[in-house]
Amino acid sequence: MDCNEEIPSCSEVTKEKMEDESLKSPVCLIVLGMAGSGKTTFVSKLDSYLKQFKRSPYLVNLDPACKNMPYKPNIDIRDSVKYKQVMKRYGLGPNGAIVTSLNLYSTKFNQLLDLLGKVHVENTHDVAIIDTPGQIEVFTWSASGQILTECLASTFPTVVVYVMDLERSTSPITFMSNMLYACSVLYKTKLPFIVVLNKSDIVDPSYAIEWMHDFETFCDAIEKESSYMSNLTRTMALTLDEFYSELNCVPVSSITGHNFDEFLKMVDSSADEFQKEYRVEWEKIRKDKLQAEISELNNKLNSLEVSSGQGENVDLFSSLSAGREISDVYLAPMADEMSEDSEGEEVPGFNLND
């Protein structure tokens, strides 16, 4: 998939309605993190936490391999793409199949955006939470992950939530690797960023906070563990020092819900930050892409004029619609629509055996 393809967007009708300033846009939270860091548990707890305050988040599951889902997603990739069939059909291992499933699903991101646009227009949910696949690189370094991030950020206030496992980061080297990953995601996505230090019910988060705020303490810890790496790690730690200084970071427990109020305050300020500092940039990215598409079309028109009279058919729109023609993908309707749905009826998804 080519990242320079057009960014899918909401339908024109939805877009027009969304321009109504009186309607508050839902904040999109993209939840990322290493495998097993607690993303799904975090999403589930946040869902029940918000519901206590009569706020109902719009939930999107993008993990095609998730087996036990503790929350009820409004949109679920598993309804559309059968990842086991992808493994069989393309002879892939589990990780390759997850990437391919997400790529297949990207052909329907415009439908996903339309559903989110409807959430905006109908003012039904003030926050949308997107749970991502276990292997973080599937989302952060894949074209489909990048396209979805761009789609969301150029339409809604969008914040990246990086879930870090406190229990598995007590070694300074693992801690640093995790933080370097977070740092790379921050610079790649160019979006407001919150680090959630998860599992604070089983591990005291103070070690992580101390390491982030006191460079020397962290260096001492790292030298105790592995002296031969000290030069490299010192340099990296110094780089991270700058990253930490601007970082929104909150310890939470996704089991008890501890500190979720603090997390939500950070979401509010990050959404404001998005509107003030990022929105203009994202609108520019979108306009530039549109401009590039128009120039490409103009070039095709010009070449058509040059070769006119030769009777050849040129498909002017092929570059815009490439890979977006699969019409049998099903996106689960929103929960309130589901209740009107004929119960349990099978809906066709990607049938890879066809």
Least CB distance to Mg ion at residue 353 (A): 27
Least CB distance to ligand GTP at residue 258 (A): 8
Which window, 207-215, 253-261, 276-284, 288-296, contacts ligand GTP (CB under 6 A)? 253-261
Burial class of residue 330, CB neighbours in 10 A (0-12, 13-18, 19+): middle
Q: How many CB atoms lie within 10 A of CB 177?
A: 14
**Of 254, 260, 334, 349, which lies in the binding site for ligand GTP, with binding defined by CB under 6 A?**
254
Give me the residue label for tokens 């894949």: 142
Which residues between 41 and 60 bind ligand GTP (CB under 6 A)? 41
In angstroms, the CA 98 to CA 84 distance is 9
CA-nearest of 238, 156, 252 to 195 is: 252
Which window, 1-9, 104-112, 249-257, 272-280, contacts ligand GTP (CB under 6 A)? 249-257
| Residues 6 or more apart whose Cβ sits within 8 Å of residue 317 | none
Helices (H) then strands (E): counts for the chain: 15, 7
**Of 9, 14, 25, 40, which lies in the binding site for ligand GTP, with binding defined by CB under 6 A?**
40
**Of 5, 6, 47, 63, which lies in the binding site for ligand GTP, with binding defined by CB under 6 A?**
63
- The binder of 36, among ligand GTP, Mg ion, none, by C-beta within 5 to 8 A per type, is ligand GTP
What DSSP line would sit under 105-150, residue for residue?
Answer: HGGGHHHHHHHHHHHHHHT--SEEEEE--SSHHHHHTSHHHHHHHH
Which residues between 196 and 225 bind ligand GTP (CB under 6 A)? 198-199, 201-202
Task: Output 141 or 215, the one with its CB closest to ligand GTP.
Answer: 141
Contact flag: residue 178 with ligand GTP (CB under 6 A): no
Residue 339's φ and ψ, nearest 5 degrees, are: -65, -25
Contact flag: residue 39 with ligand GTP (CB under 6 A): yes
Residues of this chain that interact with Mg ion (CB under 5 A) are 39-40
In angstroms, the CA 126 to CA 189 distance is 22
- The binder of 254, among Mg ion, ligand GTP, none, by C-beta within 5 to 8 A per type, is ligand GTP
Contact flag: residue 73 with ligand GTP (CB under 6 A): no
Which residues between 123 and 142 bind ligand GTP (CB under 6 A)? 134
CA-nearest of 261, 181, 247, 166 to 212 is: 247
| Residues 6 or more apart whose Cβ sits within 8 Å of residue 229 | 173, 222
**CA angle at residue 119 from 115 to 120, to 5 degrees?**
115
Which residues between 14 and 33 bind ligand GTP (CB under 6 A)? 33
Least CB distance to ligand GTP at residue 31 (A): 8
**Of 8, 26, 38, 64, which lies in the binding site for ligand GTP, with binding defined by CB under 6 A?**
38
Question: Residue 179 corresponds to which tokens in the numbers above?
Answer: 């933080």
Task: Output 71 or 274, the one with its CB closest to Mg ion.
Answer: 71
In the complex, which residues of this chain contact ligand GTP (CB under 6 A)?
A: 33, 35-41, 63, 134, 198-199, 201-202, 253-255
